[in-house]
Amino acid sequence: MFEREPSSSIKRACLILFGPDVHAGPDFLSYLQPEGLKAAFRSKALSTHPDRAEVVGKDRDHLNEQFLKVVWAYDQLKTALVKPRVMTARSQPSRASKARPAPRTSPPPRTRPEPPQRDLRGEPRYYQGDPPSKVLRIGEFLYYSGKVSWQDFMAALNWQKRQRPSFGEIAMEWNLLSQDDVVAIMADRNFAEPFGEAAIRKGLLSRFWMRAILHHQSKRQPRLGRFFVETGILSRAQLGRELESLKIHNRRVLKRYH
């Protein structure tokens, strides 16, 4: 039973998922079950996902903002629903265990990305020429503008990929796939086939939910620019200037084709 009044973030999360008619008090949180929370999340995610912009007749950027709020609200409430285990007479700790304090554990230290390994077959390869006339992301822009080498760019992408949660982890968090489903998909994947595509082929996931997971996955991975700063390839000031140049480049491209 929740005895304390929920925090403002929990109240806001309830408002996002359940609407203004629900009073986000201790009684509601005690009554709320994981299955009900997941059902509310799926319903809201379905109505706010950016891929449904044309279907619902709303602006894609607005839906994207709403979808991220829905994911945030789900994470907040999912954490709040983790209740302490009720101690029974059999599960009460003995005097000996009470007298012996549990060992303290400290969180693992934050690891800095390792500098990229240089290509032993020759010097780092830098792009020569003007950046292509298309919308670019920061890593692409740094490479095409000659600020980082191809090896550095690839190392940054690999580092970013290692930091983000896997597709299967998110699918299990959202109760879309079971652990057995994930194992079956991994065992039946074709060579170089994306996990999501394999899940769709096996009939275990819809294309809508695949896109939703990929969207959420991209939001939970670290920014690529952090790699270049923490490995000393660029300073923070240099990265800031390149980000501004990237905005100017993309605006010019969009203006040209619109």
pLDDT in tens, the chain (258 residues): 455 677 888 888 888 888 877 777 777 777 778 778 888 888 888 788 777 777 777 787 788 788 888 888 887 887 777 644 333 333 344 443 334 443 333 444 445 566 555 544 457 889 988 889 899 999 999 999 999 999 999 999 888 888 888 888 888 888 888 888 888 888 888 888 899 999 999 999 999 889 888 888 888 888 899 999 999 999 999 999 999 999 999 999 888 876
Q: Are the C-beta atoms of 144 and 253 separated by less than 8 Å?
A: no
The count of residues in the chain is 258
- Say yes or no: 169 and 148 in one domain: no
Amino acid identity, residue 235?
A: S
CA neighbor of 226 nearest in space, from 132, 155, 134: 155
Q: Are the C-beta atoms of 16 and 77 separated by less than 8 Å?
A: no
- Structural domain including 148 reads 119-164+223-258
For residue 203, is it left (φ>0), alpha (ψ between -120 and 50) or beta?
A: left
- Domain end position, chosen among 22, 53, 80: 80
- Say yes or no: 132 and 258 in one domain: yes
Separation of alpha carbons 28 and 19, rounded Å: 13
DSSP percent split of the chain into helix, strand, coil, nearest 5:
60, 0, 40
Instruction: Evaluate whether residue 49 is within a structural domain.
Output: yes
Instruction: Evaluate whether residue 100 is within a structural domain.
Output: no
- Say yes or no: 128 and 254 in one domain: yes
For residue 129, is it left (φ>0), alpha (ψ between -120 and 50) or beta?
A: left
- Say yes or no: 24 and 74 in one domain: yes
- Say yes or no: 37 and 135 in one domain: no
Q: Which residues contact 211 (CB under 8 A, 6 or more apart)?
A: 49, 51
| Structural domain count, the chain | 3
Separation of alpha carbons 30 and 24, rounded Å: 10
